[in-house]
């Protein structure tokens, strides 16, 4: 029995009534090093959750575990009720993933690579052609799709990775710095696409970024990791209240909650 609950219709697809993603007491060590400890959070239908933290906070380990690439030492991770540890294939079918640094098959053209990805997800020819064409146009890759990926700029490769993550209309999007290398127009298109997918189709999004202005602008809730643990979670206003910083921007709140707010010594040393 799926723990995600009965399906309901949001827009056109069927979505579960419960959380799309549940991370419960997730703990992972590498040898004697505890990377993540007792992490808990969820992503609900139609919600964008920001996963923030300093370098080494445990974000990458957490995302890899959600994708089934890292096995928890303890705790559970469920995608639409599927335990990632025991039902990895079922969980992965529901996920669209965009990595921070995409590794693409550069000996293929953009069109060939996207057709390959769509085939992996079992999309029929008319559907894949329509969806790929729509994304190529929206992200201004039309006219470049038949060139080898090896000749693409970093921004163009990021666009291909975004299309590959979205082409099968996943229920849950896991995005790791998805706007890296994108020009302002393309970044705006991606943000609007995310808003449309969450609002109209009930897609859930886990969004990791170091650009806190982006997180503040698009995320419904924020989860802040520090030293492998969740130090705070909630809306931006709730985080401001917790930090005692009403009216402050997310950057100041983040630095306060992660204990890195006093930068005077660093600035002084670098200014000598």
With cut-offs at 50, 70 and 90, classify the pLDDT of residue 234.
very high
Predicted confidence (pLDDT) per residue in 149-167, tens digit = 999 998 999 999 999 999 9
pLDDT category at 11 given cuts 50, 70, 90 is very low
Q: What local confidence, expressed as pLDDT, does residue 244 receive?
A: 87
* CATH label of the domain that carries residue 177: 3.40.50.300
The reported pTM is 0.86
Mean of per-residue pLDDT scores for the chain: 87
272 found inside a domain:
no
Chain segment 18-33, per-residue pLDDT in tens: 799 999 999 999 999 9
**The total number of structural domains that make up the chain:** 2
Number of H helices, E strands in the chain: 10, 12
- Please give the pLDDT value at position 240: 87
pLDDT in tens, 31-83: 999 999 999 999 999 999 999 999 889 999 999 999 999 999 999 999 999 99
Same structural domain for residues 165 and 51? no
The per-residue pLDDT for range 96-114, each reduced to its tens digit, is: 999 888 889 999 999 999 9
Give the pLDDT confidence score for residue 26 in this predicted structure.
Answer: 97
Is there a single domain that holds both residue 163 and residue 250? no
Position 5 pLDDT exceeds 50:
no
In our burial notation (b when 16+ CB lie closer than 10 A, e otherwise), range 96-127 reads bbbbbebebeeebbbbebbbebbeeeebeeee
For residues 176 and 225, membership in a common domain is answered with: yes
Tally of CA atoms within 13 A in the half-sphere of 21 that contains its CB: 31
Has residue 269 been placed in a domain?
Answer: no
Q: Check residue 260 and give its pLDDT.
A: 59
- Domain presence at residue 270: no
Same domain, yes or no: 12 and 86: yes
**Cα separation, 81 vs 231, whole angstroms:** 26
Domain boundary pick from 114, 145, 169: 169
Q: Are residues 56 and 175 in the same domain?
A: yes
């Amino acid at each position: 029995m799926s723990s995600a609950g009965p399906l309901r219709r949001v827009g056109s697809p069927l979505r579960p009534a419960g959380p799309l993603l549940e991370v419960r007491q997730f703990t992972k060590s590498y040898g004697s090093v505890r990377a993540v400890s007792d992490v808990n959070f969820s992503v609900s239908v139609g919600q964008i959750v920001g996963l923030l933290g300093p370098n080494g906070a445990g974000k990458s380990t957490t995302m890899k575990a959600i994708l089934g690439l890292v096995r928890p030492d303890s705790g559970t991770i469920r995608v639409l009720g599927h335990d990632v540890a025991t039902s990895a294939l079922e969980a992965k079918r529901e996920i669209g993933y965009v990595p921070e640094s995409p590794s693409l098959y550069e000996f293929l053209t953009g069109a060939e690579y996207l057709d390959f990805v769509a085939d992996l997800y079992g999309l029929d020819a008319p559907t894949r052609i329509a969806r790929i064409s729509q994304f190529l146009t929206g992200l201004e890759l039309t006219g470049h799709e038949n060139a080898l990926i090896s000749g693409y700029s970093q921004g163009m490769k990021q666009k291909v990775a975004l299309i590959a993550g979205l082409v099968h209309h996943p229920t849950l999007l896991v995005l790791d710095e998805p706007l890296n290398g994108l020009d302002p127009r393309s970044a705006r298109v991606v943000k609007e696409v995310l808003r449309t997918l969450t609002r109209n189709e009930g897609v859930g999004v886990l969004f990791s970024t170091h650009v806190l202005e982006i997180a503040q602008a698009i995320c419904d809730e924020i989860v802040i990791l520090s030293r492998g643990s969740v130090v705070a979670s909630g809306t931006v206003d709730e985080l401001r209240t917790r930090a005692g910083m009403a009216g402050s921007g997310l950057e100041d709140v983040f630095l306060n909650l992660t204990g890195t707010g006093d930068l005077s010594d660093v600035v002084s040393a670098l200014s000598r």
